[in-house]
Amino acid sequence: MPQYKPLTLEEYETLHEQFSRLLSTRTIPVLIPGEAILGIEAIAAGIAAPGRKILNVVTGPYGTLFGQWLERGGAEVFTVESSFDEVITVEAVAAAIEQSKPSVLSFVQAESITGGTNPTRRILELARQAGLITVVDAVSAIGAEPVLMDEWGIDFVTIGAQKGLAGPNGISAVGISDRGWDFLEQNPNAPRNSILSLLDLKRTKEGTPPRIPGSIPALEARALLHALEQVEHEGLENVNKRHRQASFAAVAGIKVLGLEPWQRQEQNGSPLVTTVRLPQDSRLQVEQPIGIVAPGDGALYGHLLRLNHFGENARLDSVEQAVRTLAELLGQDSAQALAAARDTWRAGHDR
């Protein structure tokens, strides 16, 4: 069967079911025919309105961008920010909620650019106590760590397959709770008849999707179906575990090389990406990626290196290769660092 034939209704619904399972939700996420960033912008466009107070947690560049989109929509945006080598604390979020009295709380679960993971479950607990609508960018969390939409009470969550799920980046998904749909519908400014419209994607009461499957890019959809089948075959928990092991092994390896994680609190390191702090005048300044070792993005260039041990690279041999690369750049022997990475990987999950 030619792969470019329009998507069948069955394939289309299978994709939705896969996304529901990934998010541990009984609701049906909407498919976004583009990169995850499109879904994130669509959420901002759908919820922002003059008079709506939104508390936006900023722990990296994606949070900054989200705040700008909310402001464009006329919302009153309050910001609580961490330095980018630390994640946000639950206390800081609690104080900001108290002060700004928002109706919405938004944040990024895990930051691929800074290598930190926010205390998501506890932040969402606070939000629930305060009755807030919650928005989570879980693009860099899904596959690497749990994202429990219903249990944690997330109203809007964006995911894509291109990070922890080893899939393509051309179709992503937004999970929306019943409360989330109501919140969109109550917003007269929420886009309609637009690529940024989530309301256009809402199913009827009978569950009929508004978009015919044929309008979803078929090649991309089939690649995604395949990638998500692989994830289900391995088991999402096992995929999470592989990412944890990779991050623990990477941290163990870099420490033996005399380096330290960029994240000041080691326990807040993301299972998706380990960021390495660069000493001044370091021999580790690289301009181009070498395997999974990549320079810092944007303003973080020169301050950190990323070890992108995610997706297919959440494997011991990818971490070993990264440790070898760092040792070579430093002019050091890699044997002990490799042994530490291997031992830590085999120990399973403890640093």
Ligand X SMILES: *Cc1c(COP(=O)(O)O)cnc(C)c1O
**Total of residues contacting ligand X (CB under 6 A):** 14
Question: Considering beta carbons, is residue 102 or 160 the nearer one to ligand X?
Answer: 160
Residue pair 34/43 in contact by the 8 Å Cβ criterion: no
SS3 of residue 159 by DSSP: strand
Subset of residues 102 to 161 that bind ligand X, contact rule: CB under 6 A: 108, 111-112, 137, 139-140, 160
Judged by CB under 6 A, the stretch of 35-43, 114-122, 192-200, 311-319 that binds ligand X is: 35-43
By CB under 6 A, tell whether 36 contacts ligand X: yes
When binding is defined by CB under 6 A, the residue of 35, 71, 76, 200 that contacts ligand X is 35
Instruction: Find the angle CA(193)-CA(107)-CA(234) to the nearest 5 degrees.
Output: 90
Distances (CA, A) of 239 to 231, 234, 342: 7, 7, 18
Pattern of binders to ligand X over 51-80, x per CB under 6 A? Answer: -----------x------------------
| Residue-wise DSSP of 89-140 | -HHHHHHHHHHH--SEEEEESEETTTTEE--HHHHHHHHHHTT-EEEEE-TT
Residue 292 CB, shortest distance to ligand X, in Å, is 15
Question: Considering beta carbons, is residue 163 or 222 the nearer one to ligand X?
Answer: 163
Subset of residues 259 to 318 that bind ligand X, contact rule: CB under 6 A: none
Which residue is closest to ligand X by CB? 35
When binding is defined by CB under 6 A, the residue of 37, 231, 249, 300 that contacts ligand X is 37
Question: Considering beta carbons, is residue 87 or 256 the nearer one to ligand X?
Answer: 87
SS3 of residue 180 by DSSP: helix
By CB under 6 A, tell whether 180 contacts ligand X: no
User: Encoding tokens for residue 110?
Assistant: 């895990």
Strand partners, 159: 173
Question: Considering beta carbons, is residue 268 or 334 the nearer one to ligand X?
Answer: 268
Question: Considering beta carbons, is residue 43 or 54 the nearer one to ligand X?
Answer: 43
When binding is defined by CB under 6 A, the residue of 56, 162, 275, 308 that contacts ligand X is 162
10 Å Cβ neighbour count for 86? 15
* Helix H or strand E segment including 51: none
Rounded Cα–Cα distance for residues 344 and 336 (Å): 12
Question: Considering beta carbons, is residue 137 or 220 the nearer one to ligand X?
Answer: 137
Residue 60 CB, shortest distance to ligand X, in Å, is 7
Residue pair 198/42 in contact by the 8 Å Cβ criterion: yes
Judged by CB under 6 A, the stretch of 34-42, 85-93, 118-126, 262-270 that binds ligand X is: 34-42
Residue 295 CB, shortest distance to ligand X, in Å, is 16
Would you give the end-to-end CA distance of the chain in angstroms?
48
| Dihedrals phi, psi of 255, to nearest 5 degrees | -65, -40
CA dihedral 4, 9, 11, 17 (to 10 degrees): 150
Question: Considering beta carbons, is residue 109 or 187 the nearer one to ligand X?
Answer: 109
Q: What's the distance, CA 256 to chain centroid?
A: 29
Residue pair 246/318 in contact by the 8 Å Cβ criterion: yes
Question: Considering beta carbons, is residue 54 or 272 the nearer one to ligand X?
Answer: 272
Question: Considering beta carbons, is residue 136 or 257 the nearer one to ligand X?
Answer: 136
When binding is defined by CB under 6 A, the residue of 24, 89, 169, 189 that contacts ligand X is 169
Instruction: Find the angle CA(150)-CA(13)-CA(235) to the nearest 5 degrees.
Output: 60
By CB under 6 A, tell whether 177 contacts ligand X: no
Rounded Cα–Cα distance for residues 246 and 131 (Å): 37
| Dihedrals phi, psi of 306, to nearest 5 degrees | -100, 135
Residue 87 CB, shortest distance to ligand X, in Å, is 13
Question: Considering beta carbons, is residue 113 or 340 the nearer one to ligand X?
Answer: 113
Residue 108 CB, shortest distance to ligand X, in Å, is 5
Binding footprint of ligand X on the chain (CB under 6 A): 35-37, 62, 108, 111-112, 137, 139-140, 160, 162-163, 169
